[in-house]
Chains A and B, each alone.
Chain A
Amino acid sequence: MDLLLPHIVNGLTLGLLFAMIALGFTLIVGVMEIINLAHGSLFALGAYFAMAWIGGDWFGASEFGIWWASLPVGMRYASALIFGPLCAAAAGMVLELCVRRTYGKAPLYGLLLTFGAALVIEELIRISWGTGEQSLTVPQLINGAFLAGGMIFSKYKFFAAGFAALSIVCVWLFLEKTPYGAIIKAGSHDSEMVRALGYDLSRLRLLVFGLGAALAGLAGVVMAPIWGLRPHIGVDVIIPAFLIIVLGGVGSFWGAVIAAALVGLAVGITGAYAPAWSMLSMYLLLIAVVTFRARGLMGRKSALEN
Chain B
Amino acid sequence: MSNSKITRRGLLGGAAVGGVATFAGPWKHNRVWAQSTDKPIRIGITSDASGQYANSGASDRRGMLMAIEEANARGGALGRKIEFMHIDTETTPATGSRVAERLISREECGFLIGAVSSGVANAVSQVAQRYGVIYMNTNSSSPTESGQNCHRVKFVWDGNGTNFSKAAVRNAISTYGEKVVLLTNDYVWGHDTAKSTRALVDQHGGTVVEEILIPQGTRDFSAALLKIQQINPDIVAAAVGGDDQIAMRQQVAQLGMGSKPAWINNQQDWPDVYGLPLDNLFGVFGTTWYYGLDLPGVKEFVDRYQAMYPDTSMRVPGNVFYNGYMATRELLNAIERADSTNNIAVIKQLEGHVMSAEERMQHHVAVIDPNTHQVQQTIYLATANDEPRDENDMFRILTQSDPNDVRDEGSLEACKLESYEDTPAFDA
Whether B275 contacts A132 by the Cβ 8 Å rule is yes
For B224, list chain A residues within 8 Å (CB). 271-272, 275
Total B residues in contact with A, Cβ cutoff 8 Å:
43
A17 to B, closest residue via Cβ: B220
CA distance A236 to B50 in the complex (A): 13
**Given A10-B226, A152-B257, A132-B274 contact (CB < 8 Å):** yes
Is A116 an interface residue, CB under 8 A from the partner?
no
Report the separation of the CA atoms of residues A126 and B279 in the bound assembly, to the nearest whole angstrom.
26
CB nearest neighbor in A for B226? A6
- Chain A contacts of B255 at CB under 8 A? 144-145, 152-154
- Find residues 258-291 in chain B having any chain A CB closer than 8 Å to their own CB: 271-277, 280
Given contacts A278-B218, A279-B217, contact A226 B186 (CB under 8 A): no
Contact with B along A131-147 (1 / 0, CB 8 A): 11111000000011100
CB <8 Å contact, B223 and A10: yes
Is B254 in contact with A154, judged by CB distance below 8 angstroms? yes
A151 touches B314 (CB 8 A): no
Type the 1/0 row for B224-237, where 1 means its CB is closer than 8 Å to any CB of A: 11110110000000
Least CB distance from A143 to B in Å reads 7
When distances are taken between beta carbons in the complex, the residues of chain A under 8 Å from B273 are 133
A275 near B215: Cβ-Cβ < 8 Å: yes
Chain A binding site: helix, strand, loop or mixed by DSSP?
A: helix
Count of A residues near B, CB < 8 Å? 41
Tell me if B313 is interfacial: C-beta within 8 Å of chain A. Answer: yes
Question: Does chain A have a CB within 8 A of B412?
Answer: no
Determine if A49 is an interface residue (Cβ-Cβ < 8 Å): no
**Is A279 within 8 A of B276, CB to CB?**
no
Do A152 and B212 form a contact, CB below 8 Å, given A7-B223, A236-B219?
A: no
Task: For the complex, give the distance between the alpha carbons of A133 and B249 in Å.
Answer: 12
Nearest-CB residue, chain A, relative to B211: A275
Question: In the bound complex, do residue A133 and residue B223 qualify as a contact, i.e. CB atoms below 8 Å apart?
Answer: no
Contacts of A145 in B (CB 8 A): 254-257
Q: Least Cβ distance of A15 to chain B in Å?
A: 11
With a cutoff of 8 Å between Cβ atoms, the chain B residues found around residue A152 in the complex are 225-226, 229, 255-257
Check: A156 CB closer than 8 A to any chain B CB. yes
Give me the interface of A with B, judged by CB distance under 8 Å.
3, 6-7, 10-11, 13-14, 130-135, 143-145, 151-157, 225-228, 230, 232, 236, 267-272, 275-276, 278-280
6 inter-chain pairs at a CB distance below 8 angstroms, sorted by A residue, are A133-B274, A154-B255, A155-B254, A225-B254, A267-B223, A271-B224
